[in-house]
Protein backbone atom coordinates (compact mmCIF):
# COMPACT_ATOMS: atom_id res chain seq x y z
CA UNK A 1 0.00 0.00 0.00
CA UNK A 2 1.24 3.45 -0.82
CA UNK A 3 2.01 6.41 1.37
CA UNK A 4 -1.27 8.18 0.47
CA UNK A 5 -4.74 6.72 -0.12
CA UNK A 6 -7.85 8.57 -1.26
CA UNK A 7 -11.14 7.17 0.04
CA UNK A 8 -14.33 8.56 -1.43
CA UNK A 9 -18.08 8.13 -1.47
CA UNK A 10 -19.95 9.24 -4.59
CA UNK A 11 -23.55 8.81 -5.68
CA UNK A 12 -23.32 10.73 -8.95
CA UNK A 13 -19.65 10.49 -9.90
CA UNK A 14 -19.04 14.12 -8.90
CA UNK A 15 -16.88 13.37 -5.83
CA UNK A 16 -15.22 10.50 -7.66
CA UNK A 17 -14.06 12.99 -10.29
CA UNK A 18 -12.39 15.13 -7.64
CA UNK A 19 -10.79 12.04 -6.07
CA UNK A 20 -9.36 11.04 -9.45
CA UNK A 21 -8.01 14.56 -10.15
CA UNK A 22 -6.21 14.50 -6.79
CA UNK A 23 -4.91 10.96 -7.37
CA UNK A 24 -3.52 11.85 -10.81
CA UNK A 25 -1.29 14.51 -9.28
CA UNK A 26 -0.34 12.57 -6.14
CA UNK A 27 0.04 9.22 -7.97
CA UNK A 28 -1.82 7.37 -5.25
CA UNK A 29 -4.49 4.74 -4.84
CA UNK A 30 -8.20 5.64 -4.92
CA UNK A 31 -10.73 3.49 -3.06
CA UNK A 32 -14.50 3.59 -2.88
CA UNK A 33 -15.44 3.67 0.81
CA UNK A 34 -17.66 0.60 0.28
CA UNK A 35 -14.57 -1.51 -0.46
CA UNK A 36 -12.10 -0.21 2.16
CA UNK A 37 -10.58 -2.56 4.72
CA UNK A 38 -8.33 -1.77 7.70
CA UNK A 39 -5.42 -3.34 5.78
CA UNK A 40 -5.84 -0.66 3.09
CA UNK A 41 -5.22 2.08 5.66
CA UNK A 42 -2.90 0.67 8.30
CA UNK A 43 0.40 1.32 6.46
CA UNK A 44 -0.48 4.70 4.94
CA UNK A 45 0.89 8.05 6.10
CA UNK A 46 -1.98 10.15 4.72
CA UNK A 47 -5.64 9.38 4.08
CA UNK A 48 -7.74 11.80 2.07
CA UNK A 49 -11.49 11.27 2.50
CA UNK A 50 -14.03 12.86 0.17
CA UNK A 51 -17.82 12.84 -0.12
CA UNK A 52 -20.82 15.08 -0.74
CA UNK A 53 -21.21 17.86 1.83
CA UNK A 54 -24.42 19.35 3.17
CA UNK A 55 -24.98 22.30 5.48
CA UNK A 56 -26.79 20.21 8.07
CA UNK A 57 -25.04 16.86 7.80
CA UNK A 58 -21.40 17.69 7.11
CA UNK A 59 -19.31 15.52 4.81
CA UNK A 60 -21.44 12.45 4.15
CA UNK A 61 -20.29 9.24 5.76
CA UNK A 62 -17.18 10.63 7.40
CA UNK A 63 -18.24 10.05 11.01
CA UNK A 64 -19.05 6.33 10.49
CA UNK A 65 -15.87 5.93 8.44
CA UNK A 66 -13.81 7.55 11.19
CA UNK A 67 -15.43 5.46 13.92
CA UNK A 68 -14.99 2.20 12.00
CA UNK A 69 -11.37 2.76 10.95
CA UNK A 70 -10.09 5.03 13.72
CA UNK A 71 -7.42 2.58 14.87
CA UNK A 72 -6.15 1.99 11.33
CA UNK A 73 -6.04 5.66 10.28
CA UNK A 74 -2.72 7.48 10.15
CA UNK A 75 -2.15 10.67 12.11
CA UNK A 76 -2.48 12.76 8.93
CA UNK A 77 -6.02 12.96 7.60
CA UNK A 78 -7.50 15.40 5.07
CA UNK A 79 -11.22 15.61 4.30
CA UNK A 80 -12.92 17.24 1.34
CA UNK A 81 -16.58 17.82 0.71
CA UNK A 82 -18.22 18.52 -2.62
CA UNK A 83 -21.45 20.24 -3.52
CA UNK A 84 -23.28 22.59 -5.82
CA UNK A 85 -23.08 25.71 -3.69
CA UNK A 86 -20.07 27.99 -4.15
CA UNK A 87 -17.69 28.25 -1.18
CA UNK A 88 -19.01 31.76 -0.45
CA UNK A 89 -22.39 30.22 0.42
CA UNK A 90 -20.93 27.50 2.68
CA UNK A 91 -20.25 28.04 6.36
CA UNK A 92 -17.03 26.04 6.73
CA UNK A 93 -17.07 26.31 10.51
CA UNK A 94 -20.54 24.75 10.65
CA UNK A 95 -19.42 22.09 8.14
CA UNK A 96 -16.43 21.30 10.39
CA UNK A 97 -18.66 21.01 13.47
CA UNK A 98 -21.05 18.58 11.79
CA UNK A 99 -18.28 16.54 10.18
CA UNK A 100 -15.71 16.25 12.98
CA UNK A 101 -17.96 15.84 16.04
CA UNK A 102 -16.38 12.53 17.02
CA UNK A 103 -12.76 13.29 16.08
CA UNK A 104 -10.03 13.67 18.66
CA UNK A 105 -8.27 16.22 16.45
CA UNK A 106 -9.89 18.03 13.54
CA UNK A 107 -8.45 17.14 10.14
CA UNK A 108 -7.94 19.74 7.43
CA UNK A 109 -11.22 20.39 5.58
CA UNK A 110 -11.63 21.52 1.99
CA UNK A 111 -14.79 22.24 0.02
CA UNK A 112 -15.04 21.98 -3.77
CA UNK A 113 -17.98 23.02 -5.89
CA UNK A 114 -18.93 22.51 -9.49
CA UNK A 115 -21.57 21.49 -11.97
CA UNK A 116 -23.09 18.02 -12.27
CA UNK A 117 -24.65 16.45 -15.31
CA UNK A 118 -28.34 15.87 -14.46
CA UNK A 119 -28.64 13.27 -17.22
CA UNK A 120 -26.41 10.87 -15.27
CA UNK A 121 -28.06 11.40 -11.87
CA UNK A 122 -30.42 8.92 -10.26
CA UNK A 123 -33.97 10.23 -10.01
CA UNK A 124 -33.79 10.44 -6.19
CA UNK A 125 -31.01 13.04 -6.54
CA UNK A 126 -32.44 15.12 -9.40
CA UNK A 127 -35.11 16.89 -7.31
CA UNK A 128 -32.67 18.09 -4.61
CA UNK A 129 -30.23 19.04 -7.39
CA UNK A 130 -32.72 21.33 -9.12
CA UNK A 131 -33.82 22.75 -5.77
CA UNK A 132 -30.25 23.66 -4.84
CA UNK A 133 -29.44 24.93 -8.34
CA UNK A 134 -32.22 27.53 -8.04
CA UNK A 135 -30.52 28.90 -4.90
CA UNK A 136 -27.21 29.54 -6.69
CA UNK A 137 -26.27 33.18 -7.00
CA UNK A 138 -23.47 32.50 -9.46
CA UNK A 139 -22.54 29.77 -11.91
CA UNK A 140 -20.17 27.18 -10.40
CA UNK A 141 -16.66 27.11 -11.88
CA UNK A 142 -15.48 24.23 -14.00
CA UNK A 143 -13.77 21.50 -11.99
CA UNK A 144 -10.43 19.96 -12.76
CA UNK A 145 -7.01 19.84 -11.19
CA UNK A 146 -7.03 23.62 -10.68
CA UNK A 147 -10.04 23.32 -8.38
CA UNK A 148 -8.19 20.98 -6.01
CA UNK A 149 -5.02 23.09 -5.87
CA UNK A 150 -5.53 24.16 -2.19
CA UNK A 151 -5.68 20.50 -1.11
CA UNK A 152 -2.63 19.64 -3.21
CA UNK A 153 -0.75 22.58 -1.69
CA UNK A 154 -1.57 21.26 1.79
CA UNK A 155 -0.22 17.82 0.86
CA UNK A 156 2.96 19.46 -0.46
CA UNK A 157 3.28 21.43 2.80
CA UNK A 158 2.90 18.21 4.84
CA UNK A 159 5.54 16.50 2.70
CA UNK A 160 7.96 19.43 3.02
CA UNK A 161 7.55 19.47 6.80
CA UNK A 162 8.23 15.72 7.01
CA UNK A 163 4.77 14.96 8.41
CA UNK A 164 4.15 12.43 5.62
pLDDT in tens, 26-73: 999 999 999 999 999 999 999 999 999 987 789 999 999 999 999 999
Query: What pLDDT, on the 0 to 100 scale, is given for residue 11?
Result: 83
41-50 tens-digit pLDDT? 999 999 999 9
Return mean pLDDT, the chain: 86
pLDDT-derived band at 14 (thresholds 50, 70, 90) equals: confident
Domains annotated for the chain, with CATH where assigned, are 4-161 (3.40.50.360)
Query: What pLDDT, on the 0 to 100 scale, is given for residue 56?
Result: 79
Q: How many CA atoms, within 13 angstroms, populate the side-chain half-sphere of residue 163?
A: 14
138-155 tens-digit pLDDT? 554 555 667 899 999 999
Amino acid sequence: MGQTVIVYSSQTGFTQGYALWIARVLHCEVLDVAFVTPDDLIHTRLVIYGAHATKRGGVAGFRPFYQQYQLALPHQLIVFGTGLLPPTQIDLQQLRQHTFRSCHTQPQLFYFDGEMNPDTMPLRIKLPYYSQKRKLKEKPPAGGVGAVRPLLDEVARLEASGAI
